[in-house]
């Protein structure tokens, strides 16, 4: 005759109100962890660099081309000044007058001299400042577009910061709501056993 195996003890029965309160607390903790994980804002390093550095200037580009030493700064200033002076229509008119000065001599020397004068004197002297003028206009347009793009980036960054502030405010409201719901759950879980006990005593 063999003894029957002793069944394992059954776990104590948890009242439904306590089980519901525990489930609510667990859900609230999960929501709290989820909120903190989703809205943890980490600013990008580029944002701080963009805010402090500002747009790229001509002096910074010149220092990258010619260097930051004395001769580098001197070459940058001289080159920029000559470009500003030569790259005007007034310089083109002046070079046109200089080219016309050699035209009578070229006419006397024949067709080959006229071709040489046209290619080496007239076109080079007159077209050079005109081309620089056109490049300056294109550069101004490019600079204007770059500045607009920079301002747009600043506006987008500002809006992103405002969104982060908005999300932070929403986080605070949600955390307050979670604390309020947790208090209500604790109040209800304490009130239900008391009501059940009062009903049993009256019966």
Q: For 168-180, write each residue's pLDDT tens digit.
A: 888 888 888 888 8
Question: What is the rounded average pLDDT of the residues 109-136?
Answer: 85
Average pLDDT, the chain: 74
Helices (H), the chain: 16-38, 45-53, 58-66, 70-86, 89-101, 103-109, 111-117, 123-202
Question: What is the rounded average pLDDT of the residues 191-200?
Answer: 57
> To the nearest whole percent, how much of the chain has pLDDT over 70?
66
pLDDT tens figures, 86-109: 888 898 899 888 888 888 888 888
Q: What is the pTM of this model?
A: 0.50
Q: Would you state the pLDDT for residue 32? A: 56
Q: Would you state the pLDDT for residue 109? A: 86
Q: Would you state the pLDDT for residue 125? A: 83
Question: What is the rounded average pLDDT of the residues 51-58?
Answer: 69
Q: Would you state the pLDDT for residue 176? A: 84
Domain boundaries, the chain: 57-86
Q: What one-character DSSP code corresponds to residue 8? A: P
Q: Would you state the pLDDT for residue 127? A: 87
User: Where is pLDDT greater, at 147 or 41?
Assistant: 147
Residue 41, C-beta contacts closer than 8 angstroms, at least 6 positions apart: 164, 167, 168
Question: What is the rounded average pLDDT of the residues 129-153?
Answer: 85
* Rounded CA Rg of the chain: 41
> To the nearest whole percent, how much of the chain has pLDDT over 90?
0
Question: What is the rounded average pLDDT of the residues 49-61?
Answer: 69
- Can you tell me which residue has the tokens 């004197």? 121
Q: Would you state the pLDDT for residue 22? A: 57
Residue 14 scores a pLDDT above 50: no
What confidence tier does 1 reach under pLDDT thresholds 50, 70, 90? Answer: very low
């Amino acid at each position: 005759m063999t003894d029957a195996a002793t069944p394992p003890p059954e776990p104590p029965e948890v009242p439904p109100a306590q089980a519901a309160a525990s489930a609510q607390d667990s859900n609230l903790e999960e929501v709290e962890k989820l909120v903190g994980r989703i809205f943890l804002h980490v600013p990008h390093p580029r944002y701080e660099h963009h805010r402090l550095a500002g747009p790229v200037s001509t002096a910074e580009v010149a220092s990258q081309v010619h260097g930051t030493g004395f001769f580098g700064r001197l070459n940058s200033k001289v080159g920029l000044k000559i470009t500003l002076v030569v790259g005007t229509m007034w310089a083109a008119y002046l070079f046109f007058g200089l080219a016309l000065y050699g035209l009578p001599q070229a006419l006397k020397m024949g067709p080959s001299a006229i071709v040489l004068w046209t290619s080496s004197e007239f076109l080079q002297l007159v077209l050079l400042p005109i081309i620089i003028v056109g490049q300056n206009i294109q550069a101004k347009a490019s600079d204007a577009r770059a500045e607009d793009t920079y301002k747009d980036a600043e506006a987008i960054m500002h809006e992103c910061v405002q969104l982060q502030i908005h999300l932070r405010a929403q986080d605070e409201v949600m955390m307050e709501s979670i604390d309020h719901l947790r208090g209500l759950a604790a109040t209800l879980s304490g009130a239900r056993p008391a009501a059940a006990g009062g009903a049993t005593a009256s019966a």
